[in-house]
Structure 1
């Protein structure tokens, strides 16, 4: 749903009804994850995609029918048919379950409020019932900010409280996902599957070392949806003019800035300084923090010397094992731009639990779910 937040926000503000088709489950290899949506308004305008083009026509027709009939939400499954190569289905071989429902903005002001937050870049989540009793299917509630406030209802106070508790955890992790609740008297008698659409604050990329490689990496990080900070102790190099793609440029000793700044389990740290007096205290601190990724630039000789110094500084073997050094994947990179691709490729592979090997050498589905709490916010929907 939040992959098309800008358009849905405009339609809700205008009070225009629309049909919303949402991927609620994926089996095997499929191009887009749960939470991705396509919407059609009463003028026949469509926005979004749920399959990269394979089944859009059929989903559009379902949306048009739901808008016309005004009936209850409808579920449909699309997969590949070996028997009929011209059948509507996914050419990638996977299966997707889709929920199609009519949305009346006037009856869901909480949805408009959540979309207000999303378009302003603030954290929000929308919980949507995707499996359960027919009368609850498609119901939504919204969480704003850190999730301490919510509006809307999924059926009863018990059901709402049970879902909100689980949705807050996903909001903190910055991850869209399905949660199962209910089926017992302590929470709610009805068993529900609820898809929590999450828009979290962008994850952070902290780049230490105001060098040419940092300029290219800050641009790549911004493109991937990170909030990028470049930090260096030398004011002559750490200037906003040299790093136009960084959200902030900080003049400070690297380890001191890391001590003072806010990080979480989605934060990535890239150390490009090549200087032991900066690297050692910075990496010793970074490797002790619960962050997603720590990488350091340098030759293999530099890496060996750095590891020795870190060990002498009290860094444990388990902590050293978290360090990606030399930083990046082996792409044969030479230029700052190529090196930025190498580094970000390693970050993507690391945060998604992937191998970094060519897909042509692998087996099985090429699309996979990422580990909890690792996806950049703008990469999920």
Structure 2
């Protein structure tokens, strides 16, 4: 749902009633992951998507029905030989869809509205909804943020501040709030199993936690033509992109109009003082030892998602010797993607940027980078694990 937060937040601000259908679990080769959503307002306007188009029509009708009767429903769609093109997933996967009415009289509307407003503003927030359990709890929502709020509906305890509730026992709310906060800190969307004892309602529950966090960072070191193409590619992939170079004549807004930030400083000095996290990708395009060595010496010891460095194989070998000389270990060197990018036969800056971006995506998603034609690897590497979708079980 938070993947279409901007549009849905506008609907809330306009006072529209709508129903939102959210993918809550997937199995096999499914095109969208948990959290993907399609919403329909009372006038029949639709935004978002829950599949590659296979089940959109059926989900649209479910949304209209939910808007009319005010009922939250959970529906499973799978491959059907008899009706594959009507309501089945022709890719052979299975998806579970939770359809929630967000009407003026909906108990969950205030919490969902707050979650949409936070996500739309770029604030970190996570919304938890019951997707399996007693019918009266289905679709109930709870919101946690990275910072406490002053809203009078907040409850504050050892799990931190949270808004709303799942309609069960306060202990359940505290348990889910703690799980949601952990997923939010990791920037993850996933489902959590709550055992019958932990749910306090005599039945096990499954809760979907959707996290919305600020865009991950891509820091491009080296203000060269290849960097300009990589900046555009990084923005396309949803990164907040910074360009850093020690040479002010090259690191200019004119050369990098698409960058979110341009920094004139020695790369290692900037990296020492800036914030990075487990989603940050570092692309070193300077291929100059006086910049590369101190920068990579630091970068390879940081908890970032990706470190890649441009250069020929000869440059790579020379750079590795220099890095070993300054104390970089073999384990640290093994983190370095160099020469940077996948083998696409790239020549132009744009082709090279594509090869770098492809390696970043493969590294993030667990892809192999080989051609899918004739391969026996999953197309959607995350998908087969998501139908159970559960990161853990709380007793």
Q: Tell me, which stretches of 5 or more residues in structure 2 are unaligned?
A: 149-159, 386-395
Q: Is the 8 A contact 1:105 1:111 kept in 2?
A: no
What is residue 151 of structure 1 aligned with on the other side? 163
Once the two structures are superposed, the pairs formed by residues 81-92 of structure 1 within 5 Å of their partners are 81-92=80-91
Structure 1 pair 87/185, CA: closer, same or farther in 2 (3 Å)?
closer
What is residue 38 of structure 1 aligned with on the other side? 38
Q: Is the 8 A contact 1:15 1:104 kept in 2?
A: no
Whole-angstrom distance in 1 between the partners of 2:20 and 2:198:
32
Please say if 1:142 is aligned against 2:140.
no
Give the C-alpha shift of residue 295 in structure 1: 0.3
Q: Which one of the candidate residues 185, 189, 197 is aligned to 1:176?
A: 189
Once the two structures are superposed, the pairs formed by residues 1-381 of structure 1 within 5 Å of their partners are 1-71=1-71, 73-105=72-104, 107=107, 108-146=109-147, 148-155=160-167, 156-184=169-197, 190-369=203-382
Whole-angstrom distance in 2 between the partners of 1:165 and 1:189:
21
Moved more, 260-269 or 87-96: 87-96
Whole-angstrom distance in 2 between the partners of 1:279 and 1:55:
50
Whole-angstrom distance in 1 between the partners of 2:337 and 2:85:
47
TM-score by length of 1: 0.92
Per the alignment, in what secondary structure is the counterpart of residue 342 of structure 1?
A: helix
Q: Is the 8 A contact 2:219 2:243 kept in 1?
A: yes
Give the C-alpha shift of residue 186 in structure 1: 9.2
Q: Is the 8 A contact 2:54 2:86 kept in 1?
A: no
Deviation string, structure 1 residues 308-367 (Cα, Å, up to 9, x no partner) = 111111111111111000000011111111110010000000111110111113225311
Deviation string, structure 1 residues 73-99 (Cα, Å, up to 9, x no partner) = 222111112345555201111111111
Deviation string, structure 1 residues 140-162 (Cα, Å, up to 9, x no partner) = 11122357532110123211111
Whole-angstrom distance in 1 between the partners of 2:364 and 2:104:
36
Give the C-alpha shift of residue 176 in structure 1: 1.2
Whole-angstrom distance in 1 between the partners of 2:101 and 2:199:
32
Whole-angstrom distance in 2 between the partners of 1:56 and 1:185:
35
Q: Is the 8 A contact 2:28 2:384 kept in 1?
A: no
Q: Is the 8 A contact 1:146 1:168 kept in 2?
A: no
Structure 1 pair 11/27, CA: closer, same or farther in 2 (3 Å)?
same
Structure 1 pair 29/371, CA: closer, same or farther in 2 (3 Å)?
closer
Q: Tell me, which stretches of 5 or more residues in structure 1 are unaligned?
A: 373-381
Whole-angstrom distance in 2 between the partners of 1:4 and 1:56:
16
TM-score by length of 2: 0.89
Q: Is the 8 A contact 1:181 1:187 kept in 2?
A: no
Q: Is the 8 A contact 2:145 2:181 kept in 1?
A: no
